[in-house]
Every structure is written in structure tokens, then in C-alpha cells.
Amino acid sequence: MSSDQQTIPMEVDGPPPRFSPEALQRIEEILTRYPEAHRRRSALIPVLHLAQKEFGGWLSRQAMDLVADHLGIPPIRVYEVATFYTMFNLKPVGKHHVQICTNISCWLCGSDAIVKAVQQKLGVGFGQTDKDKRFTLTEVECLGACVNAPMMQINDDYYEDLTPDKISGILDGLT
């Protein structure tokens, strides 16, 4: 297995996760978007995304099992999707998940300098979380903003047309 592939996380200590009433309501809204015949299977990706937000920015095995149970689908189907898509984190991440695109457009426009500036500012390398668990740094392939390269994503926000000089201000502005 390459280092880019994700594996199903081990069990975590503590009580099993439970969706909040707001999340349960949101899941019901998500389900209405899909044709009845395949509604629950089709809703898997948005429900996994909701679960990841609900449970601290990552999906434990128990969280994936909860999604499977709630959607009435076999857990293996949830694991297949969660381990395939890099948008799902299968280990804990910091409060701010910094993802820097290093694909061709960003690289040609200077992503190497962005990576260096972020690593110096945070004191961590790719795949690492700082000691305060505030920042996790991840290298990603295309985030789909090639026209405004180089770019990075922090949690749900995109930062485009980056320069090394902009990095400190962006990172310092995060609470």
C-alpha cells in the first residue's frame, strides 16, 4: 500500500459517536435530494462529510459505522468511499486543516515557495500536526482552482493567488 492510501481507522476510546439533533435533521434534508430507489446509498458522500464536521474533522471507525447504520447500508460500502476520497480524514486533524495544492498549475505558479512559507510558519511538515493540535498540514493534488494558482484550502475556505508574503497574515488570522 502506498503512503497516499488511507486505511480504516482503529477504534477510539470513549463513548460511541451520536449525531446531534441538528445533524439528524440535516441528514433527512440531504436524503430528500435523491431518488427514492437509491436515496440512502446516494446520500453517502454528503452524510460522510456531515459526520466528519460533526465529529471533530475526521472519521473514526465508529463514526463510519454510525453512518452505515443510519443509512441502512453495509459498513464496507462506507469504508470503501471514505478510504477512496482524500476529502475524508481517517485520523485526527488539527483545528485548522491546511491543505496545499502542489499539482502542476500550482507548482508552475510557485507552490514550492508557499509550502516552504507555511512549513516555516507552522513548524510542521506534510502529514504532521503541531503540538497544540491547532494545525495539520497536508499536501494535496488538484483542489480545482488552477486559474488562481497557487492556492491552499484551510478547512472549508480557499485561499488563492498566494504569495509567501500572504501566508503569515492568513495563518495569523485564524482563531
Render each residue's pLDDT in the chain as its tens digit; 175 residues: 444 556 666 666 677 899 999 999 999 999 999 888 777 889 999 999 999 999 999 999 999 999 999 999 999 999 999 999 888 999 999 999 999 999 999 999 999 999 999 999 999 999 999 999 999 999 998 999 999 999 999 999 999 999 999 999 999 999 7
Instruction: List b or e across 137-173, with b for residues whose CB sees 16 or more CB atoms inside 10 angstroms.
Output: bbebeebebbeebbbbbbeeeebbebebeebeebbee
What pTM was estimated for this model as a whole? 0.81
Domains, the chain, in order of start with CATH, read 21-84 (1.10.10), 96-172 (3.40.30.10)
User: Which residue pairs, CB below 8 angstroms and at least 24 apart, start in 67-75?
Assistant: 70/19, 70/27, 71/40, 71/41, 71/43, 71/44, 71/47, 72/40, 73/40, 73/41, 73/44
